[in-house]
Structure 1
Amino acid sequence: MSDLLVDSFGRVHNYVRISVTDRCNLGCQYCRPGETAGHPSKMDLLTFDEIAAIVSVLAEMGVTKVRITGGEPLLRPHLEDLVDRLSAIPGISRVGLTTNGMLLASKARALRQAGLTDMNISLDSLLPDRYAMITNGGDLSRVISGIEACFKAGFEMLKLNVVLMRGVNDDEIESFLRLTLDYPLQVRFIEYMPIGKQAEAWKAGYMALDGIMAQCADKGWNARRVEPADRMSGSSFCGTKDDSGPAKYYRISGAAGEFGLINPVSDHFCMACNRLRITANGSVKPCLYWNDEWDLKPFIGNNELLRQAIRRSLEAKPQRHEMIVQPGQKPAQHTMMRQMSQIGG
């Protein structure tokens, strides 16, 4: 199909992440360092009509999966209405949400009934005081209640995202792994990325994920890689058959769930990238760690011009990011300065 979203390196894009707000009710140190929770948005946000129009065109171009992000997307009123509209678009097979979980308990059932299939919850500590410190005031008990509500609502996929930081939460790896022994969910360990204005904090906190498998071995846990063929055969019971993305998944023998490793810094996965990002004010970013953006709002209502704008963004997508510039290497562009909460992760 000639209309497919293929960039100049042959990568097919079938996944879009759309931010619905840059606001957040937390101030996580790796996402919005130095900011307090609840700041008013300064963006001219896309309306639900505009988001649906963009996704309809993307679906015609081969996109099958949409993820709603923020900021904190549950701060956007009536989000279940958007989920309902997106899940009804022909060609869209999965609609996911990434949330910090603080507002989730009362909304999980309505979101599931509206057609939300996948739930990702950011959870960087299982210790209440530490969680409050990392998030600048978050309440861990509210997140736990949100997770329990997701199990009751029957989501097809439930993931917990853990940004691993040296000297902050790296002593909780075993605790997170133990969750997968008892619960049918995916715990995903993510390398701390140097996004936005936090270079010094990143240098102090970054750690690679290569020690996690060693911890499994030390505990006597046999962790086996979950291959795509396992999902296709139906033997994987906490993931979907079409689950594609940057994580490499493993299951400890006898475990109810899985754990994943996402290492964009130490072992970049750029050549397998299949996603676009759309900011809350309507700009498409073909690469997370790249400044270039294309404003889509002027073209909404004219599908052919919208398609052309999306294709132009893909034509400029770099072969790989430059999160880490080696000594003596000159970066191709200035460091990406948007905070993660402004991009949509």
Structure 2
Amino acid sequence: MTTLALQTDPLAPPLLDAQGRRMTYLRLSITDRCNFRCAYCSPASWGGKKDLLDAPELGRIAALFASMGIRRVRLTGGEPLIRPDILDIAGRISRIPGIQHLAITTNASHLASLAVPLREAGVDQLNISLDTLSPETFRRISKQGDLAAVLRGIDAAAGAGYASLKLNVVVMRGVNDHEVRALVEHAHARSIVPRFIELMPFGQGTPVPTAELVSRLRDEGLPLSPEPEEPGASAESLSSGPARYWRAATGRVGFISPLTQNFCGGCNRVRVASNGDLRSCLGGRAQAPLHQLIRGGASDTELARAIRQALGDKPEGHRFTEPGNGATLLPMMGIGG
């Protein structure tokens, strides 16, 4: 395809942002509701959005992005598994030509019954949120939810044959930072990769720097060594993303460090919120109201132009650490993670 064709056809790949970074990964929120209310993600003041996208609209958006070069889609929330049509949504998107991987981020509360049906619908990767193994700490982090149901869901996922399972832990000082070793052991016992995430400034709590966690794990008898990047690894691989991985005798351990080890230089993702607002950056403001355009009768070409215009305003990096910026950010569940 010629350069001229790329310039004149907004539907043609590649899909680039303002910095020339190639977008291959779509994070598509399908709800901003959740059956948990975790303090760092879902503040009590968050009332949710209206007019959530339906399954055909979600499928159309995913197909449009696939035509523009997206190869990997992650369904997020809120908690995506509370949607009664989740299997329909997953099946629609997994069958779209060009989509190579379909992932879901979930709190696992519904996985005991859905782990196998989701796999059969075409989901090949799950990222499961688990911040603690303690019922008391669980209740401190989330006033709602059932830790026992979460743990059952994790075990069901471990036996369902997924290509990739990751356990996401948001680490908060004085809350769950003392559990990192136990969480590593829990994950590795089920062939799951644990990933420890620095708390971002969307809600309550104090972050713990990645370097401190690595030192703590070593001090607690878990030797870690940095895992070299695979030569020729592409942004479309299952392991792509902001995590840096270390190797222990029992398996891999990942760390996501948005504050102390900025990962924006390799960004390959674009986000669409549950009401269809495209957000070009987790910490930015550039957006396009795709839902309004769709319901207003816009063509795919018009939608593609709006997407490219929003990505043309995407900043070089997030602005989490700028003074006062935390007060202007939407809650995590309002963005879609």
TM-score, normalised via structure 2 length: 0.90
How far residue 208 of structure 1 moved from its aligned partner, in angstroms, is 1.0
Counterpart of 1:120 in structure 2 is 127
The amino acid that maps onto 1:120 is: N
Match of 2:88, SS state, is: helix
Show CA shifts across 1:224-278 (max 9, x none).
333342897xxxxxxx95421000011202x1x3211001011211111111110
Counterpart of 2:10 in structure 1 is none
Counterpart of 2:197 in structure 1 is 190
How far residue 128 of structure 1 moved from its aligned partner, in angstroms, is 1.2
Counterpart of 2:223 in structure 1 is 222
Distance 1:23 1:120 in 2: 18
Counterpart of 1:319 in structure 2 is 316
Show CA shifts across 1:60-114 (max 9, x none).
1110000001111111112011111101111101101111111111111110100
Q: 8 Å contact 2:55–2:85 — kept in the other structure?
A: no
Distance 1:298 1:99 in 2: 27
Distance 2:190 2:226 in 1: 18
Distance 2:241 2:307 in 1: 21
Counterpart of 1:74 in structure 2 is 81
Q: 8 Å contact 1:63–1:92 — kept in the other structure?
A: yes
Distance 2:37 2:45 in 1: 6
Residues 57 and 343 (structure 1), Cα distance of their counterparts in 2 relative to 1, 3 Å cut: same
Q: 8 Å contact 1:184–1:258 — kept in the other structure?
A: no
Aligned match for 1:149, one of 145, 156, 168? 156
Residues 85 and 258 (structure 1), Cα distance of their counterparts in 2 relative to 1, 3 Å cut: same
Show CA shifts across 1:45-67 (max 9, x none).
11111111111111111100000
Alignment of 1:91-110 (within 5 A): 91-110=98-117
How far residue 298 of structure 1 moved from its aligned partner, in angstroms, is 3.7
Alignment of 1:136-215 (within 5 A): 136-195=143-202, 198=203, 201-202=204-205, 205-215=206-216
Corresponding position: 1:23 with 2:15? no
Counterpart of 2:329 in structure 1 is 337
The amino acid that maps onto 2:315 is: P
Corresponding position: 1:302 with 2:299? yes
The amino acid that maps onto 1:190 is: I
Larger mean Cα displacement after TM superposition, 301-310 or 88-97: 301-310
Aligned residues: percent identity?
A: 39
Q: 8 Å contact 1:15–1:66 — kept in the other structure?
A: yes
Counterpart of 1:249 in structure 2 is 245
Q: 8 Å contact 1:21–1:71 — kept in the other structure?
A: yes
The amino acid that maps onto 2:24 is: N
How far residue 168 of structure 1 moved from its aligned partner, in angstroms, is 0.5
The amino acid that maps onto 1:270 is: C
Counterpart of 1:14 in structure 2 is 24
Distance 1:119 1:43 in 2: 27
- The CA RMSD measured in Å over matched residues stands at 2.1
List structure 1 segments (4+ residues) > 6 angstroms apart after TM superposition. Answer: none
Q: 8 Å contact 1:101–1:122 — kept in the other structure?
A: yes
Distance 1:105 1:242 in 2: 24
Residues 66 and 167 (structure 1), Cα distance of their counterparts in 2 relative to 1, 3 Å cut: same
Show CA shifts across 1:174-207 (max 9, x none).
1112235433111110011112xx4xx34xx122
Match of 1:85, SS state, is: helix
Distance 2:259 2:45 in 1: 25
Counterpart of 2:284 in structure 1 is 290
Counterpart of 2:71 in structure 1 is 64
Distance 2:150 2:270 in 1: 28
Q: 8 Å contact 1:291–1:336 — kept in the other structure?
A: no
Distance 1:100 1:79 in 2: 14
In structure 1, stretches of 5+ residues that fail to align are: 233-239
Match of 1:229, SS state, is: coil
Distance 1:230 1:170 in 2: 33
Distance 2:28 2:238 in 1: 20
Distance 2:162 2:45 in 1: 32
Distance 2:231 2:218 in 1: 22
Match of 1:17, SS state, is: strand
Distance 2:328 2:23 in 1: 22
Match of 2:159, SS state, is: helix
Larger mean Cα displacement after TM superposition, 178-187 or 317-326: 178-187
Counterpart of 2:252 in structure 1 is 258
Equivalenced residue count is 322
Q: 8 Å contact 2:71–2:98 — kept in the other structure?
A: yes
Match of 2:328, SS state, is: coil
Counterpart of 1:85 in structure 2 is 92
